[in-house]
Amino acid sequence: MVKQIVRDVFFLGQKSEPATRDDLQVGRDLKDTLNANRDRCVGMAANMIGVKKNIIIVNMGVIDIVMFNPVLVWKRGLYETEEGCLSLDGVRKTKRYQEIEVEYFDFNWKKQKMKLKDWPAQIVQHEIDHLSGRVI
Ligand SMILES: [Zn+2]
């Protein structure tokens, strides 16, 4: 289901809770909502559709990957960059890592590990920040 995008900074500033198997539908809603905003959006966190759970979606080119309870387990190469966000206006300066390794649960609740660099790595870091209430 396509959901409304939350732009309430107070809500977005709150920490999300661990996701469980009962939250799989939230992952599907993220897919639908990202699809509906594809022209201006490459990733989202669940709180951006009003659900304070640790779930993100990241566009990886031809596919979108939903990550439940994502955690950065390794990172390398800090650099400064600028980012925008669907929930905010304009772009802001931030620091990101060039390469990361992220662990998460997939739709089958299997633990996955993925190494990423550059653009997809940046999106994952941006969305994981949302889970801790950090907006860029
Ligand atoms: Zn954002």
pLDDT in tens, 96-116: 999 999 999 999 999 999 999
CA of 108 from ligand 1 middle (Å) equals: 26
CA of 42 from ligand 1 middle (Å) equals: 9
What pLDDT, on a 0 to 100 scale, did the predictor assign at position 81? 96
What pLDDT, on a 0 to 100 scale, did the predictor assign at position 75? 98
Helix (H, G, I), strand (E, B) or coil at 35: helix
What pLDDT, on a 0 to 100 scale, did the predictor assign at position 118? 94
Q: What is d(CA 60, CA 82) in angstroms, rounded to the nearest whole number?
A: 19
Residue 96 is which amino acid? R
Task: Compute the mean pLDDT over every residue in the chain, rounded to the nearest whole number.
Answer: 96
82 assigned to active site: no
Q: What is the pLDDT of residues 71-93, one digit of tens each?
A: 999 999 999 999 999 888 889 99
Q: Where does residue 123 fall: left (phi above 0), alpha (psi -120 to 50 degrees), or beta otherwise?
A: alpha
Catalytic residue among 80, 82, 83, 127: 127
Least confident range of 18-22, 53-57, 64-68, 85-89:
85-89
CA of 70 from ligand 1 middle (Å) equals: 16
